[in-house]
Structure formats: C-alpha cells, structure tokens
C-alpha cells in the first residue's frame, strides 16, 4: 500500500496512522512511541488546567523531537443553577452510599469545590509551546479560537459523529475531520451529550466522504489490515488507532485493568453516561449497572468530576467493578508490547495485503 497522501504531507508523518488521544490511558511515553513508528502521536489534554497541560507538553517534548497532536475537550459548560445544585447533592449522597456498600472509602467534593476548566485557558499554552497540530472533540471551537490558532499556523482536527457535524466543522475552516463511528471506544465526540447520532462507522465515513472536501481520519473499530483497507476504500486518508494500544507497554492502565481487558467478552461492552454524563463505550460493571438507569447522572463535566474521586479510590483497591474501562467493539488479543512495535506490526500487515 502506498501510504503517502495529503495527510502525511500535512502532518509530517511517514504513515497516516494516528494514535488516539485516550485521556487516562495515553502517556507522553505512548505519544513518543507512536512518533517513533512514523505515526502521529496524540497527547490527551482533555480539560486539564493550563499548568497541567504545560507539564505534559514539556515532558512529551523531552521524549520526542517529532511533531505530535494535542487533544482538547471543547464542550459547553452548563450553568450552575439551583436545580443542578440540588441534583448534585442527591447524586453525591447516592454515590457515597454506593461506595459504603462496597467498602470503598471516598471523599467526594461539594459542587462549589469543583473547578471546571474551559479550553480557552489551554490555548495560550498550546501556542506558546508551538504545538502545531490541535485535535478536539465534544463540539467545535469558537471562531475567535479558530482564528487565533490559524494565525499561529496550527493544523486543526475536529471530531464528528454525523454528516451535519462534519459540515459544521468544514464550514468553520477546520483542516481535517476525524469521523467517529458508534463502535469506537471511549467518549462519543458528538456536539451534544443528548440524542447522539448512533451511526455505524463505515456507513458514516462513506456519507461524510460524499459531503466534505477536507481530508478525513477514520476512528472506530480499526484493529488490523482489513479494517484499515476497508476505511481507505470508503474514503479515509487517515486511520486512528485506540483500543489496540490499551494494554501496551506505555499505557497508563494499571495491571488489574489490563487483566480485566484480557478477559473481555463482546456482550460486556456498553454505551454509558454513568461515569461522566456523556456517552462513552466501555466495559459494563457494577458501577454502570447501579447508575446507568438511575436519576443520578449529572450533566458533563459535573458527573465526571464527582465520579472521578470514586474511581480513584476504586483504583487504589484494584477494583475493576467501579472504574471506567473504555474500549471499542472490535475486540481481540491486546498486545503488551511497545506502542512502536504494535503500530509497526500493523503497518507491516497492511503492506502484505
């Protein structure tokens, strides 16, 4: 397969393969290892504050001299109303009782103790550190931010889960669109956390290809040569790899989490709002079963911040029943080798076909 295309030229990589920015899994070491394979590493900054972003960017730069993407969340932050305060209090009480029933010691924050970060405070750090590739999810950047980044010569990669979202991104001047199918692991990149478009990836990819002119990266279910070639046939110029790297040497997952992933069955994968208030695909467990169909799910990011302390406590106890383990629907043997080797093996497999 001839890997060189518009994306490899734009991104300055040998192969148009993007290591997915999986917050909580991706490490600076994983980003550097992906770059070493000739692919694009992606540093997950999520909604971290400016100081944390700076620290991660600097650490990654110490490990690689190649360009990498930084990925940020561009969600709308809901107003803290009396109604939200009341629901937060009830949800906090419910989670404290759930933790107590399962011998997990938690200290959950009050709503006024939660610091919610806007992506705007991240942009100055990204620009000052000369990060030239920015990917984002959960919505679209505002026009002022797009102009600010473009004036710095930054390549912008937006995420869509529908044709309409793809059109919004293209009309805003976004350079590259990442098409995310419903089968992808982790959070849905939808512009809203309600009524998300549940469109199969290859169907969506083909429709988006017919609708926009900018280069497309495909994300969702790519794990071997056949899936890459299928996405290429349907119009993708780039291929985002996430779940395949979960158990890699550079992954931030703990050993007990990696062991749980090894035992995964296909009917255990679920789309859930229980952990964060936004839909995400991962492994069904006791926490999801207790929360998913309850009245105790706050809007993102408040659910995410509240359950974060719960998950942290469960991780200390190596308890996989109360942590989020995100994974897509294409499951198979997960390698524990380096990200570099996993990606090189994938490239080699494609070249043989």
Per-residue pLDDT of the chain (353 residues; tens, 9 = 90+): 899 999 999 999 999 999 999 999 999 999 999 999 999 999 999 999 999 999 999 999 999 999 999 999 999 899 999 999 999 999 999 999 999 999 999 999 999 999 999 999 999 999 999 999 999 999 999 999 999 999 999 999 999 999 999 999 999 999 999 999 999 999 999 998 778 889 999 999 999 999 999 999 999 999 999 999 999 999 999 999 999 999 999 999 999 999 999 999 999 999 999 999 999 999 999 999 999 989 999 999 999 999 999 999 999 999 999 999 999 999 888 999 999 999 999 999 999 98
My answer on whether 174 and 54 are in the same domain is yes
Within this chain, do residues 20 and 160 fall inside the same structural domain, yes or no? yes
Domain range holding 258?
79-115+254-324
Domain count along the chain: 2
Residues 275 and 229 in one domain: no
Q: Are 227 and 340 part of one and the same domain?
A: yes
Whole-number Å distance between alpha carbons of 170 and 160:
10
- In Å, how far are 40, 128, 230, 314, 353 from 235, measured between CA atoms? 19, 35, 9, 42, 18
267 plus 176 within the same structural domain: no
On whether both 168 and 236 belong to a single domain, the answer is yes
Residue 329 lies in a domain: no
Tell me the two tokens of residue 284: 């069904």
Do 239 and 207 form a contact (C-beta atoms < 8 A)? Answer: no
- Is residue 70 domain-shared with residue 108, that is, in the same domain? no
Q: Are residues 138 and 191 in the same domain?
A: yes
The answer as to whether 307 is a domain residue is yes
User: Does residue 72 sit in the same domain as residue 183?
Assistant: yes
Question: Same structural domain for residues 55 and 41?
Answer: yes
Question: What's the whole-model pTM score?
Answer: 0.97
Same domain, 124 and 193: yes
Do 23 and 158 belong together in one domain? yes
């Amino acid at each position: 397969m001839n890997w060189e295309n518009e994306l490899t030229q734009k991104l300055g990589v040998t192969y148009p393969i993007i290591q997915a920015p999986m917050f909580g899994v991706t490490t600076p070491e994983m980003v550097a290892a992906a770059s070493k394979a000739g692919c694009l590493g992606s540093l997950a900054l999520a909604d971290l504050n400016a100081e944390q972003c700076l620290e991660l960017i600097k650490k990654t730069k110490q490990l690689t001299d190649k360009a990498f993407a930084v990925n940020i969340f561009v969600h709308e932050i809901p107003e803290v109303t009396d109604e939200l305060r009341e629901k937060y209090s009830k949800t906090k009480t419910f989670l404290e009782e759930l933790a107590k029933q399962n011998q997990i010691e938690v200290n959950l924050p009050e709503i006024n103790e939660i610091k919610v970060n806007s992506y705007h405070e991240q942009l100055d750090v990204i620009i000052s550190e000369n990060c030239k590739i920015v990917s984002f999810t959960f919505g679209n950047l505002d026009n002022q931010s797009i102009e600010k980044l473009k004036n710095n010569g930054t390549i912008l990669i937006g995420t869509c889960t529908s044709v309409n979202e793809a059109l919004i991104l293209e009309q805003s001047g976004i350079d590259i669109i990442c098409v995310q199918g419903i089968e992808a692991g982790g959070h849905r990149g939808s512009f809203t956390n309600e009524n998300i478009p549940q469109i199969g990836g290859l169907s969506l990819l083909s429709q988006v290809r017919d609708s926009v002119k900018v280069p497309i990266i495909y994300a969702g279910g790519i794990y071997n040569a056949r899936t890459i070639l299928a996405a290429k046939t349907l119009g993708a110029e780039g291929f985002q790899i996430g779940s395949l790297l979960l158990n890699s040497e550079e992954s931030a997952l703990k050993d007990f989490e990696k062991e749980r992933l090894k035992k995964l069955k296909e009917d255990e994968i679920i789309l859930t709002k229980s952990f964060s208030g936004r839909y995400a695909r991962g492994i069904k467990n006791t926490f999801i079963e207790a929360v998913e169909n309850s009245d105790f799910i706050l809007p993102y990011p408040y659910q995410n911040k509240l359950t974060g302390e719960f998950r942290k406590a469960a991780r200390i106890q190596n308890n996989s029943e109360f942590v989020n383990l995100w994974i897509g629907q294409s499951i198979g043997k997960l390698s524990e080798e380096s990200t570099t080797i996993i990606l090189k093996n994938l490239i080699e497999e494609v070249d043989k076909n």
